[in-house]
């Protein structure tokens, strides 16, 4: 949820837009303009740059000029003339041109080196300046990412709290009929007509608070009028692993005894046609209970008739409202939990996870949608 | 008064803002005047193919004369021509050739208008940029009224349109922003002009299931606002007993549309042509960002689909709906989004405001921003971040939505009443007729 303080009774759209834009600017730490980043960098590291600029560039190394006549130059004109006259004689002994060329080239190399040094100094200046700007930019980006991580962390925390609240809500509904149950309920193999339920961990209450998860959902599926709400052939939160036969029988007896007692209970699902309680997923609390045998027969019928589960979905057509159909109001709290309707109805959850639904093709023109 | 209306295409099935505006105005003017619509046989603006039969017809009480187009549009050639003409120096002949390629090219209509122009007291031209308007205005400039429906479009800079805006006896605008745009672009305009706007029918009291309480009886019809969605029975309502016959989940605001299309949770609705040119591509992209950022709404698009939609669970296509279903959809929506960047009309926005649903508009459309700011009934976005933030705010804050819904309804009630709109038209017609 956005952190805006909008006074809903007196709406000012321009003010709201101002708040939204300010918030976006705040979130986008990295979206400074180039000039802004430069300014920030200059402000932050101004002293360092200033020091760097103030530092005097090193003196260029001393150099000399050496031409072809440099060897024979003299302050005295007479000497210059004499050396010029004797130069052919000197050339009989050594070759002074090679020496002159080498020294000339060396002087040129010295000059070029000095020039390179000077330009390199300017490059260093530029490079450091750019590095400072990049550093400033990265700093801003890191700050922005840090804020984003914090935001995500708070959102995660919120989600976790929400999950805990939802779990506690589920547990809260349980105590009315909570009774000791074995820690593991072994179920007979499921009927092939319905698809396996989603992973049970999603809906199981915390083990510390509810040792027997199955009955804890019962009130959610029961309508206020005491009618059985959904066929619900779901072994809720339990896998089809079969335990020893003795345990199985004991558990069945216990469940039947529970039904006879009149309190609401949830059938854990069983194979149809065996008289076992695999039918209506929930008997209503405190309501007169049907004969278990009839209930089982009805359940078996529902188990084999998968489309019937649709009849109890919230988005069934208007023609569905009536009779034993509790209507969507009964299932609304379950919708908030997100996972329960799919467990109840033996189908995929509606909405976001099922793109094909809701198009025109599946609209009112399709009379089978949501039809019983 | 005998009124002639010239429009590029006309029909109850024709989708398009200016065409719909023309039809609504014509139907209402027909109650007072002898109205004749002169149009082409085209239904589809992308081809201008002759689909309606040529000749006189009667559409919802209005006489319509259709004339066949002599050519269809070659999209590739028109695009090439547009690129050339927008970016390069060109002559008037080039512009006329561009106009011909754009279509509809219907010499028979122009010829008919030339021969029968004297029959009409006033000729109203809808939309500035098509050939029937450009050529028709040359025939009857002194008795013509132009409803420009101008938007910030590169075509407006062409020289032929300087004449189009300078020729008519009167100019009608839909919004103040359109008026400012036209004044900024064209120095020579007719002295007679007005912001006529468009009328929107406020939903009246209907028992089931759409509107349980009368709108105009109480203060702002608050009970029909999204905040009061779950309270269909209100004291003093004549239809209370009728409403009570139905379960609450059927009488809730927008429940029928939601159930029919199996929509749960917040709905972000768009209605109109689903076309990249209408900003739908950008809308889908921004909505994707919204969902990735944790948004939980469903984007529902209704109208004619002219582009592929991604196969995502949070994007639904509802198809082309009837007027009634459209109204139900607008009521069911949490937010109505208007993504068109160059919308001068935005009937969708006004309809959404009229049913008390806040809008989220593209900030590039000056007309939409004007509606949002003046009504305080919607927000606008200039980029993806703003879209996400605005949508999050609107979806999360129910009280804000309710307040915006109230503001929107008040705005439509104040500014978009048909009697006021038609009164403005009548005054202009009278002045044009008397000026001759």
ipTM (interface predicted TM): 0.76
B150, two tokens: 């101008």
Q: Which residues pair with B379 in a beta bridge?
A: B360
Cβ of A11 and B313 within 8 Å? no
In this model, does residue B426 exceed pLDDT 90? yes
Provide, as residue numbers in chain A, all residues whose Cβ is less than 8 Å from the Cβ of B311.
355
Q: What confidence score (pLDDT) does residue A329 get?
A: 36
B291-320 residues touching A, CB cutoff 8 A? 294, 296, 298, 311-319
Helical residues (DSSP H) of B186-247, grouped into ranges: 240-244
Check CB contact of A5 with chain B, cutoff 8 Å.
Answer: no
A145-184 residues touching B, CB cutoff 8 A? 155
Task: For residue B37, report the phi and psi dihedrals to the nearest 5 degrees.
Answer: -100, 130
Check CB contact of A358 with chain B, cutoff 8 Å.
Answer: yes
Best interface-test mutation with B: which of A14, A17, A153, A359 has the largest number of B CBs within 10 A?
A: A17
B248, two tokens: 């609450």
Cβ of B380 and A364 within 8 Å? no
Cβ of B262 and A11 within 8 Å? no
Report the C-alpha gap between A215 and A238 in whole angstroms: 12
pLDDT tens per residue across span B187-211: 889 989 999 988 887 765 444 444 4
Best interface-test mutation with B: which of A5, A8, A13 has the largest number of B CBs within 10 A?
A: A13
**CA of A226: how far to CAs of A284, A286, A287, B245, in Å?**
5, 8, 5, 22
Give the H or E element holding residue B277.
Answer: none
B187 exposed, middle or buried (CB, 10 Å; 0-12, 13-18, 19+)? exposed
Check CB contact of A23 with chain B, cutoff 8 Å.
Answer: yes
Q: Considering only CA atoms, which of B300, B322, B325 is closest in space to residue B313?
A: B300
In this model, does residue B124 exceed pLDDT 90? yes
Confidence of residue B246 (pLDDT cuts 50, 70, 90): low
B230-289 residues touching A, CB cutoff 8 A? 247-250, 256, 258-265
Q: Please check whether residue B190 is in contact with residue B125, taking contact to mean a CB–CB distance below 8 angstroms.
A: no
Angle at A119 between CA A118 and CA A123, to 5 degrees: 120
Q: Considering only CA atoms, which of B224, B229, B227 is closest in space to residue B397?
A: B227
Provide, as residue numbers in chain B, all residues whose Cβ is less than 8 Å from the Cβ of A13.
372-373, 376-380
Q: What confidence score (pLDDT) does residue A27 get?
A: 73
Cβ of A17 and B312 within 8 Å? no
Q: What confidence score (pLDDT) does residue B211 get?
A: 46
pLDDT tens per residue across span B360-408: 999 988 889 999 999 999 999 998 889 999 999 999 999 999 999 999 9
State which residues of chain A have pLDDT below 70.
Answer: 1-9, 28-34, 44-53, 55-58, 171-372
Write down the mean pLDDT value for chain B: 86
Provide, as residue numbers in chain A, all residues whose Cβ is less than 8 Å from the Cβ of B210.
none
Provide, as residue numbers in chain A, all residues whose Cβ is less than 8 Å from the Cβ of B314.
352
In this model, does residue B67 exceed pLDDT 50? yes
In this model, does residue B345 exceed pLDDT 70? yes
A196 vs B350, higher pLDDT = B350
pLDDT tens per residue across span A305-359: 443 333 333 333 333 333 333 333 333 433 443 334 333 333 333 333 333 333 3
Angle at A278 between CA A275 and CA A283, to 5 degrees: 110
Best interface-test mutation with B: which of A3, A4, A8 has the largest number of B CBs within 10 A?
A: A8
Q: Please check whether residue A114 is in contact with residue A61, taking contact to mean a CB–CB distance below 8 angstroms.
A: yes
Cβ of B261 and A352 within 8 Å? no
Provide, as residue numbers in chain B, all residues whose Cβ is less than 8 Å from the Cβ of A327.
247, 249
Q: Please check whether residue B232 is in contact with residue B252, taking contact to mean a CB–CB distance below 8 angstroms.
A: yes
A20 vs B313, B389, B397: nearest CB: B389
Cβ of A359 and B263 within 8 Å? no
Query: Is the sign of the CA dihedral B369, B197, B331, B399 positive or negative?
Result: positive
B298 vs A46, higher pLDDT = B298
Q: Considering only CA atoms, which of B119, B108, B101, B120 is closest in space to residue B40?
A: B108
B262 vs A20, A28, A358: nearest CB: A358
Q: What confidence score (pLDDT) does residue A162 get?
A: 82
Q: What confidence score (pLDDT) does residue A4 get?
A: 53
pLDDT tens per residue across span B137-166: 999 899 999 999 998 888 888 989 988 999
Report the C-alpha gap between A53 and A75 in whole angstroms: 44
Q: Please check whether residue B198 is in contact with residue B174, taking contact to mean a CB–CB distance below 8 angstroms.
A: yes
Three-state SS annotation for chain A: CCCCCCCCCCCCHHHHHHHHHHHHHHHCCCCCCHHHHHHHHHHHCHHHHHHHHHCCCCCCCCCCCCCCCHHHCCCCHHHHHHHHHHHHHHHHHCCHHHHHHHHHHHHHHHHHHHHHHHHHHHHHHHHHHHHHHHHHHHHHHHHHHHHHHHHHHHHHHHHHHHHHHHHHHHHHHCHHHCCCCCCCCCCCCCCCCCCCCCCHHHCCCCCCCCCCCHHHHHHHHCCCCCCCCCCCCCCCCCCCCCCCHHHHHHHHHHHHHHHHCCCCCCCCCCCCCCCCCCCCCCCCCCCCCCCHHHHHHHHHHHHCCHHHHHHHCCCCCHHHCCCCCCCHHHHHHHHHHCCHHHHHHCCCCCHHHCCCCCCHHHCCCCCCCCCC
- For helices A13-27 and B366-375, give the axis angle rounded to 10 degrees: 120
Provide, as residue numbers in chain B, all residues whose Cβ is less than 8 Å from the Cβ of A2.
389, 392-393, 396
A351 vs B264, B372, B373: nearest CB: B264
């Amino acid at each position: 949820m956005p952190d805006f303080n909008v006074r809903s009774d007196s709406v000012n759209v321009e003010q709201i837009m101002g708040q939204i834009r300010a918030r976006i600017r705040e979130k986008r730490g990295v979206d400074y303009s180039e000039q802004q980043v430069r300014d920030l960098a200059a402000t932050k590291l101004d002293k360092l740059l200033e020091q760097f600029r103030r530092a005097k560039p090193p003196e260029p190394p001393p150099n000399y000029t050496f031409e072809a006549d440099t060897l024979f130059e003299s302050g005295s004109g007479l000497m210059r003339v004499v050396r010029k006259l004797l130069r052919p004689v000197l050339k009989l002994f050594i070759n002074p041109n090679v020496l002159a060329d080498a020294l000339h080239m060396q002087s040129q190399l010295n000059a070029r080196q000095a020039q390179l040094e000077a330009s390199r100094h300017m490059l260093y200046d530029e490079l450091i300046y750019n590095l400072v700007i990049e550093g400033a930019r990265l700093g801003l980006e890191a700050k922005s990412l840090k804020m984003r991580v914090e935001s995500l962390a708070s959102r995660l925390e919120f989600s976790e709290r929400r999950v805990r609240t939802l779990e506690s809500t589920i547990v809260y509904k349980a105590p009315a009929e909570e009774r000791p149950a074995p820690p593991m309920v072994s179920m007979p193999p499921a009927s092939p007509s319905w698809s396996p339920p989603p992973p049970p961990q999603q809906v199981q209450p915390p083990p510390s608070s509810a040792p027997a998860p199955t009955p804890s959902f019962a009130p959610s599926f029961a309508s206020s009028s005491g009618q059985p709400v959904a066929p619900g052939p779901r072994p809720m939160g339990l896998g089809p692993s079969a335990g020893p036969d003795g345990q199985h029988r004991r558990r069945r007896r216990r469940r039947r005894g529970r039904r006879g007692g009149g309190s609401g209970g949830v059938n854990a699902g069983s194979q149809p046609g065996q008289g076992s309680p695999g039918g209506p997923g929930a008997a209503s609390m405190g309501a007169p209970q049907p004969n278990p045998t009839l209930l089982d027969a009805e359940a078996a019928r529902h188990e084999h008739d998968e489309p019937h589960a649709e009849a109890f979905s919230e988005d069934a057509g208007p023609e569905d409202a009536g009779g034993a159909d509790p209507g969507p109001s009964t299932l609304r709290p379950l919708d908030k939990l997100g996972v329960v309707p799919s467990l109840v109805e033996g189908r995929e959850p509606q909405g976001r996870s099922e793109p094909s639904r809701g198009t025109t093709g599946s609209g009112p023109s399709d009379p089978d949608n949501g039809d019983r | 008064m005998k009124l002639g209306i010239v429009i590029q295409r006309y029909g109850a099935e024709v989708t398009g803002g200016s065409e719909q505006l023309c039809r609504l105005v014509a139907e209402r003017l027909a109650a007072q005047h002898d109205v004749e619509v002169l149009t082409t046989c085209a239904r589809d603006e992308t081809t201008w193919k002759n689909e309606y039969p040529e000749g006189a017809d009667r559409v919802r009480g209005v006489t319509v004369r259709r004339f066949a187009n002599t050519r269809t549009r070659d999209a590739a050639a028109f695009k090439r021509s547009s690129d050339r003409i927008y970016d390069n120096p060109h002559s008037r002949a080039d512009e006329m050739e561009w106009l011909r390629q754009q279509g509809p090219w219907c010499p028979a209509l122009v010829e008919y208008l030339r021969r029968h122009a004297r029959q009409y007291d006033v000729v109203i031209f809808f939309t500035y940029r098509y050939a029937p308007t450009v050529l028709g205005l040359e025939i009857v400039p002194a008795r013509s009224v132009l409803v420009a429906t101008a938007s910030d479009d590169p075509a407006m800079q062409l020289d032929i349109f300087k004449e189009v805006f300078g020729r008519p006896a009167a100019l009608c605008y839909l919004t103040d922003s359109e008026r400012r745009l036209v004044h900024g672009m064209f120095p020579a305009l007719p002295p007679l002009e007005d912001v006529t706007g468009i009328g929107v029918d406020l939903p009246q009291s209907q028992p089931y299931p759409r509107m349980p309480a009368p709108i105009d009886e109480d203060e702002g019809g608050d009970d029909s606002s999204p905040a009061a969605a779950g309270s269909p029975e209100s004291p003093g309502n004549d239809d209370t007993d009728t409403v009570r016959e139905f379960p609450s989940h059927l009488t809730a605001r927008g429940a029928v549309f939601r159930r029919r299309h199996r929509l749960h949770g917040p709905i972000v609705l768009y209605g109109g042509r689903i076309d990249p040119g209408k900003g739908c591509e950008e809308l889908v992209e921004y909505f994707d960002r919204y969902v990735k950022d944790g948004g939980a709404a469903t984007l529902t698009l209704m109208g004619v689909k002219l582009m592929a939609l991604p196969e995502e669970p949070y994007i639904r296509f509802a198809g082309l709906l009837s007027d009634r279903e459209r109204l139900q959809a607008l009521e069911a929506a949490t937010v109505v989004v208007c993504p068109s960047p160059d919308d001068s009309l935005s009937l969708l926005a006004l309809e959404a405001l009229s049913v008390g649903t806040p809008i989220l508009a593209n900030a590039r459309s000056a007309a939409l921003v004007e509606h949002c700011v003046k009504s305080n009934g919607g927000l606008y976005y200039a980029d993806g971040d703003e879209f996400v933030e605005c949508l999050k705010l609107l979806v999360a804050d129910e009280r804000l939505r309710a307040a915006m819904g109230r503001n929107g309804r008040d705005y439509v009630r104040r500014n978009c009443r048909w009697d006021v709109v038609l009164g403005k038209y009548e005054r202009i017609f009278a002045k044009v007729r008397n000026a001759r």
